[in-house]
């Protein structure tokens, strides 16, 4: 694999942070660019460039020179304040970034979605994720990698009540996620982050969807 440049969106988040670390530690990536609402003061590696920017205003120029774009943007309806605000973060921003990245010549887009994502779902969260996947798949990337984890385990900087409850009962629920239900097994966020970086190096083309076992395999 020749030296590459990556863009990471959502690097301040739980999964995005682990993805960023994996890319920084990978010698095949000589430059890693992050866009976000704030700089990460703990990140001082020479090959990382941080830019504070409004993600809704990113243009093709911002993605110039990047082959791979990694998107771990996500929020909750409670934090966003409304369904429209949630949709803006979880669908509109990733799609805009992907469109601008394509214009700049990017080859791959790696995104975190959700198990159960379906544009026809009656559940607003899963329908939004499914619509995001559907629209991204229309863009002419060499490869679109979609990760569909279930409950993500890890220490967030922000408190999310639903996830906190989920993490408490996850060990019990995981005992029930056997066979076809295995895709609903909880997952350490670090595994998802590492899998994002690994997906871009898989050499696969087209639209690829990864659920629990394939994500774990990638991370390994």
Q: Which pLDDT tens digit goes with each residue over 75-130? A: 888 888 999 999 999 999 999 999 999 999 999 999 999 999 999 999 999 999 99
At a CB cut-off of 8 Å and minimum separation 6, what does 7 contact?
A: 32, 33, 34, 35, 62, 63, 66, 68, 69, 70, 101, 106
Q: Which of 84, 111, 102, 76 is nearest to 199 (CA)?
A: 111
pTM of the model: 0.88
Q: How many CB atoms lie within 10 A of CB 15?
A: 27
Instruction: Return the minimum-mean-pLDDT range out of 15-19, 122-126, 150-154.
Output: 150-154
Q: How many CB atoms lie within 10 A of CB 204?
A: 13
Query: CATH fold of 4-219, please?
Result: Rossmann fold (3.40.50)
Give Cα 113 to chain centroid, integer Å.
Answer: 7
Task: Domain ranges for the chain, please list them.
Answer: 4-219
Q: Which of 96, 100, 112 is nearest to 10 (CA)?
A: 112
**% residues pLDDT > 70 (the chain):** 85
pLDDT for 166: 44
Q: Which of 158, 128, 157, 147 is nearest to 187 (CA)?
A: 147
At a CB cut-off of 8 Å and minimum separation 6, what does 59 contact?
A: 100
């Amino acid at each position: 694999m020749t030296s590459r440049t990556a863009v990471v969106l959502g690097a301040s988040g739980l999964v995005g942070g682990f993805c960023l670390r994996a890319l920084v530690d990978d010698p095949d990536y000589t430059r890693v660019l992050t866009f976000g609402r704030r700089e990460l003061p703990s990140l001082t590696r020479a090959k990382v460039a941080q830019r504070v920017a409004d993600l809704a205003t990113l243009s093709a120029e911002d993605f110039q020179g990047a082959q791979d774009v990694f998107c771990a943007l996500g929020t909750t309806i409670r934090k966003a304040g409304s369904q429209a605000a949630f949709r803006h973060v979880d669908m509109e921003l990733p799609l805009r970034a992907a469109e601008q990245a394509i214009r700049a010549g990017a080859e791959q887009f790696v995104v975190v979605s959700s198990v159960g994502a379906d544009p026809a779902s009656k559940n607003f969260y899963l329908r939004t994720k499914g619509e995001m996947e559907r629209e991204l798949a229309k863009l002419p990337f060499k490869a679109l990698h979609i990760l569909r984890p279930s409950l993500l385990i890890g220490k967030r900087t922000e408190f999310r009540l639903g996830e906190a409850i989920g993490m408490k009962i996850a060990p019990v629920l995981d005992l029930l996620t056997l066979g076809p239900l295995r895709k609903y097994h909880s997952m350490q966020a670090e595994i998802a982050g590492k899998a994002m970086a690994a997906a871009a190096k898989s050499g696969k083309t087209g639209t690829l969807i990864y659920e629990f076992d394939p994500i774990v395999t990638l991370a390994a």
